């Protein structure tokens, strides 16, 4: 059961000493340091730490935001660790998922993250409905302009004309031409 430290700073110019000192004082056997934004999808040192860790080990961070960029991301990361049998501990917030209180706090965060996602989803749906009621049509505009539709109709009248050859002649994808043909047939 090892304590494995993880520190992250956003740029190479920032100094991780505050974090590494705190992790060393907490008893971490080894510390991995990433120089990457919290929004970065790739954090190679974190990946290396997770691959190095064994069931029963605990990943330790100085503060929660060093591991996750949002509550939802943090909850997902800790759930992944839990699935691997790896504990999680945040020094500043005093959360330790190897204890009952720490697991409770994590579940509270998970509930808040789900609540936040539901609020965002509800606002998005309401906003889209309001926009549609004012005549807004979402999605990407069709490449099949009126001129292209007329040209497609004309080209497809010729014997032996294929969807692929007509699409190529019009400079559109076969899928775009097929979608137009499907709407024309109805």
- By annotation, the residues acting in catalysis are 10
Secondary structure, 3-state, the chain:
CCEEEEEEECCCCCCCHHHHHHHHHCCCCEEEEEECCCCCCCCHHHHHHHHHCCCCCEEEECCHHHCCCCHHHHHHHHHHHHHCCCEEEECCCCEECCCHHHHHHHHHHHHHHHHHHHHHHHHHHHHHHHHHHCCCCCCCCCCCCHHHHHHHHHHHCCCCCCHHHHHHHHCCCHHHHHHHHHHHHC
Query: What is d(CA 95, CA 76) in angstroms, rounded to the nearest whole number?
Result: 16
Residue 37's nearest CA partner among 4, 17, 63, 14 is 14
């Amino acid at each position: 059961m090892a304590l494995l430290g993880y520190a992250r700073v956003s740029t190479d110019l920032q100094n991780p000493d505050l974090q590494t000192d705190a992790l060393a004082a907490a008893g971490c056997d080894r510390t991995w340091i990433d120089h990457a934004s919290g929004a970065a999808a790739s954090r190679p040192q974190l990946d290396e730490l997770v691959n190095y860790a064994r069931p029963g080990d605990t990943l330790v961070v100085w503060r929660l935001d060093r591991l996750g960029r949002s509550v939802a991301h943090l909850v997902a990361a800790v759930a992944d660790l839990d699935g691997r049998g790896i504990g999680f501990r945040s020094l500043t917030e005093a959360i330790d998922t190897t204890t009952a209180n720490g697991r409770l706090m994590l579940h509270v965060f998970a509930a808040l993250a789900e609540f936040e996602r539901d609020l965002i989803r509800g606002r998005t749906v309401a906003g889209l409905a309001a926009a549609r009621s004012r005549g807004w049509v979402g999605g990407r505009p069709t490449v099949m302009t009126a001129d292209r539709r007329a040209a497609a109709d004309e080209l497809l009248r010729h014997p032996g004309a294929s969807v692929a050859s007509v699409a190529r002649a019009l400079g559109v994808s076969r899928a775009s031409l097929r979608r137009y043909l499907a709407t024309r047939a109805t």
